[in-house]
Amino acid sequence: MKQFTPSDALKRLPEQFFAHLVDRVEQAKSLGGMDIINLGQGNPDQPTPDHIVASLQQAAEKPLYHKYPPFKGFSFLKEAVATFYKKEYGVELDANKEVAILFGSKTGLVEVSQCFLNKGDVAFVPDPGYPDYWSGIALANGVMKKMPLVEERGFLPDYNQLDPKDLQRAKLLFLNYPNNPTGAVANRAFFEETIQLAEEHNVCVVHDFAYGAIGFDGKKPLSFMQVEGAKQVGVEMYTMSKTFNMAGWRVGFAVGNPSVIQALELMQDHYYVSVFGAVQEATATALLDSEQSVNQLVATYERRRDKLIAGLEQLGWHVAPCKGSFFVWMRVPDGFTSEQFANDLIDKVRVVVAPGIGFGSYGEGYVRIGLVSSEQQIEEALRRFTRYMKDS
């Protein structure tokens, strides 16, 4: 069979580290024995709330939605996004100019680099951080510069450590709070510092707010858009996946700077014909009428967090403060790399965690543990961890 040579852009794409983890899990399953407990994933385990599903079912019968939807999405969904941001964060948005509908936030996070980076332009990314930031930069032939996130600084980057030469070439700066994988949150002072940096160096800030609803101990995560000047220097991207358990629906949105929104919509005009109209209607339902289900979901994650962290600390394992997201960031025991420890857990007790090195070099020494498994599964995982410690 003839082999066709892929483009240089595809060759630049980073290797999917977690594909190897999936392979390891499948290998372990094939060996039999105990069931696998997968705490390494970030896929919400709860179903989409019934009222959102019902909205989709009813909307799917409407002939209007059986045609191509508007390229930029239906205006009613953009209005719902603006209403949601006003209600949740006190932020005023122009629905026509400051909201873009996305095929999930991942799409926007990849596309934004193609919108604004030329060959050799710099984009700053957090390390550790979400690997798909890297993909968009690679496709655009940009240059990625990593900002270390260390526990001593609350996993906030130190802008004083950025190379001035890199700042001169920089076009984008990616942030993500509540943070995947560390569970850290940002404060207003940090966002103010970010806005000042962006204004001084003409850098566009892209804040990934995927876990925006998931804050613990009675504290609601801060939206970047709530801070004065944020809309002038960047955008915030929000997914329906985490807040509303709509991961498989593939819908999200970007809000903020009109020039960035316009560029994203132009890019999407050439890729897609927008999201299925019934999904858009159900998304509007979720944004406007789901406060109770969201509160229940956050409470579920908090109970799981508390149970998991208490058990891990009883074993003497160090857990970084987890203030948001649905992840726990834990140091690996002495003598292991993150990948070695993750492999050892799979081999010996059939528990899967995500090695920190997969999120960047500063993720080494940690593993990410998800809260998207039931309390019963977490309890069983803790029993297996205890067995692991006794046998090691």
**Pick from 197, 287, 187: nearest CA to 227:** 187
Question: How would residue 23 be classed by pLDDT, with cut points 50, 70 and 90?
Answer: confident
Helix pair angle (75-89, 277-288), 10° resolution: 20
Is 0.85 topped by the overall pTM? yes
The per-residue pLDDT for range 155-201, each reduced to its tens digit, is 999 999 999 999 999 999 999 999 999 999 999 999 999 999 999 99
Residue 223 CA to residue 188 CA, distance in Å, equals: 9
b/e code 370-383 from CB counts within 10 Å (16+ = b): bbbbeeebbebbbe
Question: How would residue 391 be classed by pLDDT, with cut points 50, 70 and 90?
Answer: confident
Residue 186 CA to residue 198 CA, distance in Å, equals: 17
Q: What is the mean pLDDT of the chain?
A: 94
- Residue 264: predicted pLDDT: 96
Question: How would residue 15 be classed by pLDDT, with cut points 50, 70 and 90?
Answer: confident
- Residue 268 burial by CB count (10 A; 0-12/13-18/19+): exposed, middle or buried? buried
CB–CB of 39/379 below 8 Å?
Answer: no
* 41-51 mean pLDDT: 91
71-to-21, 59, 300 alpha-carbon distances in Å: 37, 19, 37
Greatest Cα pair distance in the chain:
62
Question: How would residue 30 be classed by pLDDT, with cut points 50, 70 and 90?
Answer: confident
Question: How would residue 42 be classed by pLDDT, with cut points 50, 70 and 90?
Answer: confident
Partners of residue 108 on adjacent β-strands: none
CB–CB of 261/72 below 8 Å?
Answer: no
Residue ranges in 202-332 assigned as alpha helix (H):
230-233, 240-243, 258-271, 277-288, 291-314
* 378-384 mean pLDDT: 95
- Residue 2 burial by CB count (10 A; 0-12/13-18/19+): exposed, middle or buried? exposed
CA 115, 118, 122 angle in degrees (round to 5)? 100
The per-residue pLDDT for range 134-163, each reduced to its tens digit, is 999 999 999 999 999 999 999 999 999 999
Domains of the chain: 8-47+292-391 (3.90.1150.10), 50-290 (3.40.640.10)
Helix H or strand E encompassing 170? strand 170-176
- Residue 41: predicted pLDDT: 85
Partners of residue 145 on adjacent β-strands: 124
225 token code pair: 């858009």
ω before 6 within 30° of 0 (cis)?
Answer: no
**Pick from 102, 140, 132: nearest CA to 237:** 102
The answer, yes or no, to whether residue 33 has pLDDT greater than 70, is: no
- Residue 32: predicted pLDDT: 66
331-to-21, 207, 359 alpha-carbon distances in Å: 19, 26, 14
CB–CB of 372/43 below 8 Å?
Answer: yes
31 token code pair: 């060996």
The per-residue pLDDT for range 72-84, each reduced to its tens digit, is 999 999 999 999 9
